[in-house]
Amino acid sequence: MGLLIKCTFLTSCLFVWSLTLVKCTVYPPQVRGNGAINAHSPALDSESPALQARSLGYFYSLSLSSTFPDDLEVKEHCIEMLHIFGQRYVAYANCLVSYARPVKICQNCHTSFNSLVEMYTNISSDQLGPGNVSCHDTLMRSDRLMLLYTLFSKLNEIWTIAGCKRMSSENQDTLSNDTLYFMTSLNLSLTCFEKFQGNHSELCKDCKLSYKSLNELYGKMEENQTLCIDIEDSMNMTRRLWSKTFGCSFPREEIVPVIAVSCFMLFLPIIFYLSSFLHSEQKKRKLIHPNRAKSSSSLMNIQDKFS
């Protein structure tokens, strides 16, 4: 009986000692059923971050592309073009955010937009680069997402909706003459506003001509469809200053014809009923026969009876 107790005690000690060894053993990264590497290991919980990075560095350095053949790798020339596209994309996006309020994206971001379009055109074209390599299929159609196309389409949509192409010249490098002329007229009006900032009555009187010419120019550009978001926003702000901030009124020339037409439409029912009344009275006069005609007709009837 005593021997049995000693054997049981020794067995328990050996079992505890084996568990201690297992707990202190460094486990390698485990591979899951789907082939992914499980980076968590029980032994790493008690190690420092530096030791963990050193222990796991050998499989963090691996990449999926290292298992692909060389003919499926992205060429260095295409990677360089992709890097340049990313830089220009970020520059253009930063420009849009910087000039979002007040809106001045068309006049300040056209250079960055043109450079982005140039790089996107080079990537999306079938033109061969160094080593007779075309980056079109590799960077544009290699996956379902088509990330470059999606990114460029969103920013190009902003540029199109803003109407910035109307603000530029034919070669899209400089601003058009109409845009430059409008900006000059706008600066004249704003300078006049600043000159009479403290005296609104003098401002409404002395700045009337410059503000009127600015409105006329804006109307012509609206008819010619040469407006962009920059011009629209600046004109809205100028009109808000003129009417709400300074309390100025600007009578338009078309008010007189509008009043004349309104008065004519107001009196038109009166004219209609008056003419109808006069016309009906005239018809009544035509239907009434004179008394002499009635007496002659009656005499003729009497003579017919006696004959």
Q: In this structure, are 89 and 144 located in the same domain?
A: yes
| Residue pLDDT, tens place only, 281-301 | 665 555 555 555 455 555 455
Instruction: Tell me how many degrees the CA angle 239-240-244 measures, rounded to the nearest 5.
Output: 120
Amino acid present at 247: G
Query: Is 304 inside any structural domain?
Result: no
Which structure tokens are listed for 112? 């960055």
In a shared domain, residues 201 and 142:
no
Do 156 and 82 have their domain in common? yes
Q: What are phi and psi of 63, to 5 degrees?
A: -145, 155
What does each C-alpha distance from 39 to 44, 55, 66, 254 come to in angstroms? 9, 10, 19, 78
Distance CA(250)–CA(244), nearest Å, equals 12
Classify residue 54 by burial, with Cβ atoms within 10 Å: 0-12, 13-18, 19+: exposed
Q: List the structure tokens of 218.
A: 């804006």
Q: For residue 111, how far is the Cα from the chain centroid?
A: 18
Which of 159, 180, 161 has the alpha carbon at shortest distance from 110?
159
What is d(CA 268, CA 181) in angstroms, rounded to the nearest whole number?
Answer: 46
Structure tokens at 295: 């007496």
Query: Which of 226, 245, 264 corresponds to the end of one domain?
Result: 245
| pLDDT tier, 172 (very low <50, low <70, confident <90, very high otherwise) | low
The conformational region for residue 141 under phi > 0 = left, psi -120 to 50 = alpha, else beta, is alpha
Q: Which phi-psi region, left, alpha or beta, contains residue 146 (left: φ > 0; alpha: ψ -120 to 50)?
A: left
CA distance 140 to 19: 56
If asked whether residues 146 and 211 sit together in one domain, one would say: no
Q: Tell me if 306 is assigned to some domain.
A: no
**C-beta separation of 225 from 177 below 8 A:** no
Note whether residue 15 is domain-resident: no
pLDDT at 134: 74
- pLDDT at 5 (0 to 100): 44
What are the tokens at 24?
Answer: 């202190």
**Residue 129 falls inside a structural domain:** yes
Q: Total domain count for the chain? A: 2
Question: Do 183 and 158 sit in the same domain of this protein?
Answer: no
Residues 84 and 150 occupy one common structural domain: yes
Last residue of a domain, one of 131, 162, 193: 162
**Do 98 and 155 share a domain, yes or no?**
yes
Residues 177-229 have pLDDT tens digits of 889 999 999 999 999 999 887 888 899 999 999 999 999 999 999 999 899 99
Give the pair of three-digit tokens for residue 237.
């702000």
Domain-located, residue 142: yes
What pLDDT was estimated at residue 229? 95
pLDDT digits (tens, 9 = 90+) for 49-67: 545 545 544 444 445 555 5
Q: Give pTM, 2 decimals.
A: 0.59
Q: Determine, yes or no, domain membership for 193.
A: yes
Is 80 exceeded by the pLDDT of residue 122?
yes
Q: Would 279 be classed as within a structural domain?
A: no
**Which tens digit of pLDDT belongs to each residue from 75-94?**
788 889 899 999 999 999 99
Give the list of residues 6+ apart from residue 89 with CB closer than 8 angstroms, or none.
116, 151, 152, 155
pLDDT at 252: 56
Domain termination residue (choose one: 102, 129, 162): 162
Q: What would the two tokens of residue 19 be?
A: 């568990």
Q: Tell me whether residue 155 is in a domain.
A: yes
Measured CA to CA, the distance from residue 163 to residue 227 in angstroms comes to: 7
CA angle 161, 162, 166 (to 5 degrees): 105
Q: Is 175 helix (H, G, I), strand (E, B) or coil?
A: strand
Query: Which DSSP string corresponds to 81-150?
Result: HHHHHHHHHHHHHHHHHHTTTTT-HHHHSHHHHHHHHHHHHHHHS----TTS---HHHHHSSSSS-HHHH
Q: Are residues 224 and 155 in the same domain?
A: no
Domain that holds residue 156: 73-162
Dihedral (Cα; 110, 129, 127, 84), 10-degree rounding: -20
Collapse the DSSP code of 285 into the 3-class scheme (helix H, G, I; strand E, B; otherwise coil) and give the result. helix
